[in-house]
Amino acid sequence: MDIPREQTQAIIDAHRAAAGAMMMRTDFLVPDCFEHQAGRLAARTALVYERQRITWAELERRSAHYGRAALASGLGPGDVGAVMIENRPEFFYAWLGLARIGVIAGLINTSAQGAALAHALRATQAKVLFIGDECMEQLRATEGLPQEGLTILRVIDAATPPAPRHPRAIDLETVDIAGIDVEDFKALRAGMDNRRPCFYIFTSGTTGLPKAALISHGRFLSVGAGWMSVIPLGDDDVFYCALPLFHGAALMSLYSTALQSGGSVLIRRRFSVSRFWADVQAWRVTVFQYVGEVVRYLTNVPPVPEENDHSLRMIMGSGIGIDVWQRFKQRFGEHVLVYEGWGATESNANMTNFDQKPGSCGRIPFPERSHIRMLRYDQGSDELMRDAGGSYIPCKPGEVGELYGQIRRGNGEIVAPFEGYTTATDTAAKILQDVFEPGDAWWRSGDLFRFDEEGYYYFVDRIGDTFRWKGENVSTTEVAQQLSIYADAESTNIYGVKVPGHEGRACMAALALKPGQAFDAQAFYRCVTVTLPVYAQPLFVRVLSQADVTANFKLRKVRLREEGFDTGLISDPLYGLDRERETYAPLDAALLARICAA
């Protein structure tokens, strides 16, 4: 059904107005919102973890304890306290405790170790680190930690076997908090406005050491306010949180919305496809925050009784291809709303598919009413295209380009603030100036899209992932989506590799198979040749023992791309495209020579 542009625009306007109104409440901070809800919903359930219910009153009390411990350890308003705790209630105690005393929380990836962990602590200039037992071994193995000015507070984890703690670590519960009154918290943050940072979230660091993105109080709260303006949510809703809380999707999108609705949050340390529907049924879950790979897992496993007559009514996230979208709706119910969107931790631009159009990540019905623009991008030279006069070229429907969000106009008027990173150099690298008029500034996404005549946007690829072969551009995202018809694969990771004697990069697929499945070379060959043009067909296949994913279920490509099809580096089974025999055959020198010659 065609949806009028005006109808979509009305939803976008309501969302924008609510988010903007929250940003304008400059004296209203995250802890103000939390303390209001804790007072209003004291006896109601705020968190659920491993069959344990934590009330809002208990969450208020325990976060106050962490805040008092932070003050006793030398933190004060405007300082930074780092949090390195997996998905469990203690993460919320630490994060909210720091916010309540006016301290910025530096959220550390719980997989970080070595140089990345030392860098994160230096980048945030943290004076205190709340670290769970589950991450203690990583800390012990990390060299280059700040030698002075960092207090390490150990947070006990009942689920982790006792392990040697870092010699500088102090048990949180032994910190003397006598004389520090929770009634002083509001006074400590008095005078702060919502443009001040509430926490730092680190980027994935796929192209170098992670960067710490600044997230203000206002921006965090505006996300939930926007969702509340267009979707009926209340304190009876139950939000399912299985993505890592140190990442933007779980904390900013899910928890900002849960906090403002007053709903409860079911916490899982990690996503488990085998537990998901049982959890939904047992706790009457209504909202699920996803990434694309997680939804693919759900559609790939055999049916379970709990998925019938379930309470789930909406899922929100990013990364679902049209194939997975359709399979999810067919299997789990057309009534489940899929709010596929696009954004970035640090972005000043985002979009959501409010129209439920399969495959799209959002719509811009009237471009003149949006601060998002698309500029044509040459994927061969990896640079923006310019016309004969040297100006950047806006995209037309169907053209691939990089997405930009306007920060300011040429006269200096702010359109959509970009909060940036902890370092000016990193912030400046994400800004393009003098795009359409002298003095204007735009945030560059690094993502490629195309849009259609109706204004629906479709994610194409991340710049750097797309590659060029035989004079054609190959989108890793689109190839992976086409190959989803190969039913034996749990995940399909596509990337470009160098081939001796050839320009550009050829397509290679790394497959992680479903449990109990073996690679069916002929079946995969049929999928490849039926669905893909010749230039996009994988010349090489690597069969992984398990998918190589980040903590947020994003497929890693860098190591795979570097290793290519080098049999000296790779112990996984490797196959090559054998067109003569119409199959994929084990890769040896003879087959490689034929592939290179072809």
Write the pLDDT tens digit of every residue in 281-297: 999 999 999 988 899 88
Q: Flag whether 290 is in a domain.
A: no
Q: Mapping DSSP to helix (H, G, I), strand (E, B) and coil, where does residue 67 land?
A: helix
Q: What predicted TM-score, i.e. pTM, was given to this entire model? A: 0.86
- In terms of domains, do 12 and 39 share one? yes
What CATH number does the domain containing 25 carry?
Answer: 3.40.50.980
Number of structural domains the chain divides into = 3
Over the stretch 505-533, which tens digit does the pLDDT of each residue have?
899 999 999 988 999 999 999 999 988 88
pLDDT at 208: 58
Query: From CA 353, how far away is CA 321, in angstroms rounded?
Result: 13
pLDDT at 205: 53
Give per-residue pLDDT as tens, 106-116: 999 998 888 88
Q: In the prediction, which pLDDT does 72 show?
A: 97
Domain that holds residue 410: 371-461
Q: Return the structure tokens found at 217.
A: 């109080």
Q: H-helix or E-strand containing 215?
A: strand 212-216
| Pairing between β-strand 104-107 and β-strand 80-84 as defined by DSSP bridges | parallel
222 & 148 share domain: yes
**Of the candidates 425, 445, 461, which is a domain's last residue?**
461
Among 208, 241, 270, the domain boundary falls at: 270
pLDDT recorded at residue 227? 96
DSSP 51: T
Query: Looking at the domain assignment, is residue 561 inside a domain?
Result: yes
Q: Which of 439, 461, 483 is the last residue of a domain?
A: 461
For residue 380, the model assigns a pLDDT of 67
Q: What pLDDT was estimated at residue 1?
A: 65
Q: Residue 378 is encoded by which pair of tokens?
A: 């040459």
Q: DSSP string spanning 287-323? A: EEEEEHHHHHHHHHSPP-GGGTT----EEEEE---HH
pLDDT < 70 positions in the chain: 1, 204-208, 380, 471
